[in-house]
A and B are shown apart, each in its own frame.
Chain A
């Protein structure tokens, strides 16, 4: 039994002549042409192992559900996903033409072959959908956390499966504080804190599961657009390197688990033997390599951006209609969001909008053109990408993760209700969430 690491959260597990591919993002960019693999070289289509028997996809974020990579696969390959509160993710896979999709309830074991069983585990976070997987064979057991935020209880349950290898997330994958209007000092301080929290999380995840060998993975991405290069800086940015995860374990971990560092295309056996195939993971020399890669892909990024198109002349009406609809359909969310948002569509055919989520505003219109001094959130996004969202071609979450936008907050507080509405404004989903939310916090 062998695992080949293919970058970000992608693992190829080979056992008994069968191959299971998890979270295939192997080539190209994700999150609207923004994220690249942490790799010394840019991978191409040739790097995609299309001869696999099964694919598991943890969730809809595009560094896990990567359409450009998935295009290379036979549409009849069996795909496994977790049962989530909504069918949005399932429908997205169907839309890509895949015909054999199995949706598994969390923790329900599924036998794929004699001596090959998988268990998919749903995340414990309320407002987003994610999952992890256990792959069990007669040769051993592998746990892939992907990005999944899990409860401690779930992790102890994973421990009972006695994993030989565990792949654990160790880094942030979010737009905070990158896009916010902080001075450099404040941004660096927030990044440092977030980095420490994530490394602490890694250590505690591994301690809870106690695999024989743990591999830090599922990021970090690198940003190769010149305007975002600073985000990668190991001294001021929030993205830790796998070597930092190893160091954190050496300082705070225990003797139950050994940490192994893997670079894309490295392989590890179920006994923890590591085969380093190509180029090692980079850390202290990170910025030199990233600048070089950035030069290498700059024309490609330019081409990609140009192919994204422009916003239509109707964008302003589209934005107003879109927000009037989702806000009027979700009064339960609006009352909790309870702020005004200055929403700016930047670029050709863009404009300024005020989104009014005030809890007392029981009747629309909720969105109008113009500006206000009374905003609590300010969001400035590329008009042509907003166009894609209001046309249902792109998720807000994907656009936000791209970090190709800027924001400000007054006061400087996270409004999870606002971001939850952006995540998926389906009224049924929103209502179900608040039933649980109220119960949970009562």
Chain B
């Protein structure tokens, strides 16, 4: 499944939900786009409620921290977020959801 998002709809440093099932979130940091699983792999809290500080996303349920550039869990390595491939075009991006 492909999800197409217009670049004009993407705000910098905001967490955007681009798919509900599976829950997929998108972040644009001003330079790159990152798409990742939107449910915390620790205790299933929605990560769009999370706190984004640069490239670190902190789950508000129990404080799990993730690097959104590669999905790596910072305080419990292995409990990582699944990342989705992104194709970047002039006016849109396409997120490949397998």
Chain A residues within CB distance 8 Å of chain B: 123-125, 149-153, 193-194, 197-198, 200-201, 203-205, 336, 413-417, 440-441
Interface of A is mostly: helix
Between A and B, 9 residue pairs with Cβ closer than 8 Å are A124-B43, A124-B44, A125-B42, A151-B44, A193-B63, A201-B60, A203-B60, A414-B76, A440-B41
Could you tell me if A152 and B79 are in contact, using CB atoms closer than 8 angstroms? no
Given the complex, which residues of A lie within 8 Å of B58, measured CB to CB? 197, 200
Contacts of A153 in B (CB 8 A): 44
Q: Which 7 interchain pairs have the tightest Cβ spacing?
A: A197-B63, A151-B44, A204-B60, A124-B43, A152-B45, A149-B43, A414-B76
Distance in Å: Cβ of B57 to nearest Cβ of chain A: 13
Q: With A197-B58, A198-B63 as given contacts, are A414 and B75 in contact (CB-CB < 8 Å)?
A: yes
Produce 1/0 per residue, B31-74, CB < 8 A to A: 00000000001111110010100000010111100000000000
The SS class assigned to the B binding surface is loop
A441 CB to nearest B CB, Å? 6
Q: Is the CB of A204 within 8 A of B49?
A: yes
- A200 contact set on B, CB distance < 8 A: 51, 58, 60, 63
Q: Which residues of B contact A (CB under 8 A)?
A: 41-46, 49, 51, 58, 60-63, 75-80, 82
- Are A201 and B77 neighbours in the complex by a CB distance under 8 Å? no
Residues of B within 8 A of A417 (CB): 78
Smallest CB–CB gap between A251 and chain B, Å?
A: 14
Least CB distance, A21 to chain B, in whole angstroms: 27
* Residues of chain A with a CB closer than 8 A to B41's CB: 440-441
Q: Is the CB of A416 within 8 A of B79?
A: yes
Q: Which B residue's beta carbon lies closest to that of A411?
A: B77
**What A residues does B79 contact at CB under 8 A?**
416, 441
Other CB < 8 Å A-B pairs besides A197-B58, A198-B63, 9 of them? A124-B44, A149-B62, A151-B61, A152-B44, A152-B46, A152-B49, A197-B62, A197-B63, A441-B79
**Residues of the B chain whose Cβ atoms lie less than 8 Å from the Cβ of A125:** 42-43
Contact yes or no, B60 A150, CB < 8 A: no
Which residue on chain A has the smallest CB distance to residue B51? Answer: A200
For A124, what are the chain B residues with a Cβ–Cβ distance below 8 Å?
43-44
Nearest Cβ on chain B to A332's Cβ, whole angstroms: 14
Cα distance A434–B58 in the bound complex, in angstroms: 25
A124-B43, A125-B43, A151-B43 known; A194+B63 contact, CB < 8 A: yes
Q: Name the residue of chain B whose CB is nearest to the CB of A199.
A: B63
| A441 vs B37: C-alpha distance when bound (angstroms) | 10
